[in-house]
Amino acid sequence: QSALTQPASVSGSPGQSITISCTGTSSDIGGYHYVSWYQQHPGKAPKLMIYDVSYRPSGVSNRFSGSKSGNTASLTISGLQAEDEAGYYCSSYTSINSRVFGGGTKLTVL
């Protein structure tokens, strides 16, 4: 199974909005409503930010939102803050009952 495709890096200024894309196939993202997103600060474990495409766990800021269109999922962060600078990974369920991650995107807050 191939990793989902994410841009290697994105950047934005404080207060702006950014979107990170995650592209798969009809056998993973396109076929199911099971995309999740994780935030990872350097040296730390990943943290769940979005599940089932667009749902936020309790305690996650409403500045984070998720969506999906066809084989591509997206994570949008609005009102960028310095603390949002981190790595972001998408994940999806697959047609062979497996799980696959994206390659990760490094977000820089300018």
Partner 1 sequence: QVHLQESGPGLVKPSETLSLTCTVSGGSISSFHWSWIRQPPGKGLEWVGYISYSGSTNYNPSLRGRVTISLDTPKNQFSLKLSSVTAADTAVYYCARTPIGRNWFDPWGQGTLVTVSS
- Whichever of 64 and 89 has its CB closer to partner 1, that residue is 89
Pick 47 or 63: Cβ nearer partner 1? 47
Nearer to partner 1, 3 or 14 (CB): 3
- 3-state secondary structure labels for all residues of the chain: CCCEECCCEEEECCCCCEEEEEECCCCCHHHCCCEEEEEECCCCCCEEEEECCCECCCCCCCCEEEEEECCEEEEEECCCCHHHCEEEEEEEECCCCCEEEECCEEEEEC
What is the smallest separation between the CB atom of 15 and partner 1, expressed in angstroms?
29
- Report the nearest approach of partner 1 to the CB of residue 7 (Å): 13
Residues that bind partner 1 (CB under 8 A): 1, 3, 32, 34, 36, 38, 44-48, 51-52, 57, 89, 91-93, 96-104
Q: How far is the CB of 57 from partner 1 (least distance, A)?
A: 7
